[in-house]
Structure 1
Amino acid sequence: MTAAGDPTHPVGGSSPGRWQPDTYLRFAGERARPFAALLSRVGAESPRRVVDLGCGEGALTASLARRWPAARVTGVDSSPEMLAAATAWALPGRVAFELGDVRDWAPAGPVDVVVSNAVLHWVDGHPGLMARWAGHLAPAGWLAVQVPGNFRAPTHALLAALCRSAEWADRLADVAPRADAVLEPAGYAEVLTAAGLSADVWETTYLHVLSGPDPVLAWVRSTVLRPVLARLDDADAGRFTDAYAAALRTAYPPRADGTTLLPFRRVFAVGSLEPLSEG
């Protein structure tokens, strides 16, 4: 999830590829906004069991327990680094965290609310996974998913082009971000309705105002750039990052006041086994 660590992408063997909660949380406020927007359309009133698939460092998972005080909330993530940070949010009998891959998740019984925030773009074939999760919902259960929708934006297109360039293709072409990593909103509506859910699907483009040196690079360093750097030693990672940073500065130039605008599109999909309200 956005403040929760896109967990299903394999953690690389070199230090640049590991999840680093402190780096990810530099933009915690900006990354939390889509989570709040996603949950605003979940109408569950008194769920008993809530699961956050891709919980990362746990802050937003804990917010689910505040919204639903009677629920037992479980966060699942495959990053030991993120889960180590998440222990600060654990509450005996109310909020728990466990190590696991969202692709393999199967609950012991029906779940009232399943949330997956900024995770599924790492998972090939995730529409089928969403359908499987829908099958684990309790009567009147809810499934809520958010994915980045910016894979054709310069942040990702420039990175993909660099990964596939003559200098780097032999090592990085297969980890270049794909433009088709996520569906368009209509595609997610089809996934939810085919799974027997009432669907509420929309998109939002956030215009983030970033500051500091190379702020767009800082934003992507903890997400889409992470698996790329995991393939490289320190010297090559530095050379690659320098080239990518230069391209980002051209695509996202600083404004006169020193800030940089980063448009970021996100796609939201909420499904329920009960009819959804309008508005």
Structure 2
Amino acid sequence: MADWSPARYLQFSDERSRSFRDLVTRLAELLAARDVTPSDVVDLGCGPGHLTEVLRSHWPDTTVTGIDSSPAMIERAREHDRRTTYVEGDIADFAAGRLDVTGADVVVSNAALQWVPEHRDLLPLLRDRARQALAFQVPGNHDAPSHLLLREVAAREPYASALGAPVTRRATDDPVGYADLLAAPGWAVDVWETTYTHVLAGPDPVLRWISATGAQPTLHALEEADPALRARFEKDYGAALREAYPERPYGTPLAFRRVFAIASRT
């Protein structure tokens, strides 16, 4: 897949940041109950670095290392946040200890693990890299209309021939499934889910939202095949999204399910 676009990703930064704020708030509560203040945090899939302030709002003196596989995201993060060390690298490589990054008191990840093949297999490794806690959230909306329509439209011609393979469903687990994977002697597990209803403004907001994240592999593949084909796909997909997510006088509501998990040492 071509590289990510920080500018497009940050179009809905308030809405995208909300789940991370909720995750870190709960994590801070659990650590405070044990009188633990993390001295260092590793942020996996840190993106453009705009969420570091959330970590420092709870732990002002913590040392933060951000890791992301996108060169564009790392470049933007380094430009806008000089206090944090940013490393271009893969989450799987961090889990296996192949990056020049040590473990940390806390390892966090915001909406990134779903992009890692077989991410469930990595969770015990990621948990054990954390001296105090592993905390993450992933989208749980891969059967929402936005994603069902993405797969449906992409399966039509001429898009299917250009893509060469069906658009896959990026499966994430339910809270109990993550609890099963993270539970171990010496660890406490806290899991939950929340469905946010984001009210989006502007024309075709759901298309703009998913074009910056979940639809990126499809759009990049079509762009590579034929830019005109991508434009045609966006027109068809956008029309389907407008029908599934009708605009109201106050904006366009987008229901978005998120799944949260925290494993903390007891």
CA distance in 2, matches of 1:97, 1:245: 35
Partner of 1:31: 16
Are the counterparts in 2 of residues 113 and 142 from structure 1 also a CA contact under 8 Å?
yes
CA deviations over 1:58-86 (Å, ceiling 9, x no partner): 01024323421232110001111111110
Number of equivalenced pairs: 253
Give me the TM-score of the superposition, normalised by structure 1.
0.85
Partner of 1:273: 265
Verify: 1:219 aligned to 2:212, yes or no.
no
Give me the TM-score of the superposition, normalised by structure 2.
0.89
Partner of 2:81: 90
Verify: 1:133 aligned to 2:126, yes or no.
yes
CA distance in 2, matches of 1:77, 1:187: 25
Q: Secondary structure at the match of 2:196?
A: strand
Mean alpha-carbon deviation: is it higher for 152-161 or for 102-111? 102-111
CA drift of 1:108 comes to 4.9
CA distance in 2, matches of 1:239, 1:193: 47
CA drift of 1:173 comes to 5.9
CA drift of 1:195 comes to 7.7
CA gap of 1:63–1:25, structure 2 versus 1, over 3 A, is same
CA distance in 2, matches of 1:196, 1:239: 54
Verify: 1:261 aligned to 2:253, yes or no.
yes
Q: Could you list the runs of 4 or more consecutive aligned residues of structure 1 that deviate by over 6 angstroms after TM superposition?
A: none
CA distance in 2, matches of 1:37, 1:128: 25
Alignment of 1:1-279 (within 5 A): 11-12=1-2, 18-42=3-27, 43-44=30-31, 45-92=36-83, 95-105=84-94, 106=97, 108-138=101-131, 141-172=132-163, 174=165, 176-178=167-169, 181-194=171-184, 197-232=187-222, 233-255=226-248, 257=249, 259-274=251-266
CA distance in 1, matches of 2:145, 2:64: 37
Identify unmatched segments of 5+ residues in structure 1: 1-10, 13-17, 275-279
CA distance in 1, matches of 2:103, 2:201: 44
Are the counterparts in 2 of residues 175 and 228 from structure 1 also a CA contact under 8 Å?
no
Partner of 1:277: none
Are the counterparts in 1 of residues 21 and 54 from structure 2 also a CA contact under 8 Å?
no
Are the counterparts in 2 of residues 177 and 224 from structure 1 also a CA contact under 8 Å?
no
Are the counterparts in 1 of residues 155 and 166 from structure 2 also a CA contact under 8 Å?
no
CA distance in 1, matches of 2:75, 2:247: 36
CA distance in 2, matches of 1:269, 1:56: 20
Which residue identity is paired with 1:267? V
Are the counterparts in 2 of residues 122 and 181 from structure 1 also a CA contact under 8 Å?
no
Superposed CA RMSD: 1.8
Which residue identity is paired with 1:104? D
Which residue identity is paired with 2:192? W
Are the counterparts in 2 of residues 127 and 191 from structure 1 also a CA contact under 8 Å?
yes
CA distance in 2, matches of 1:260, 1:171: 31
Are the counterparts in 2 of residues 209 and 260 from structure 1 also a CA contact under 8 Å?
yes
CA drift of 1:89 comes to 4.0
Are the counterparts in 2 of residues 150 and 156 from structure 1 also a CA contact under 8 Å?
yes
Q: Secondary structure at the match of 1:46?
A: coil
Are the counterparts in 2 of residues 163 and 173 from structure 1 also a CA contact under 8 Å?
no
Q: Secondary structure at the match of 1:213?
A: coil
CA drift of 1:165 comes to 2.5
CA distance in 2, matches of 1:254, 1:79: 33
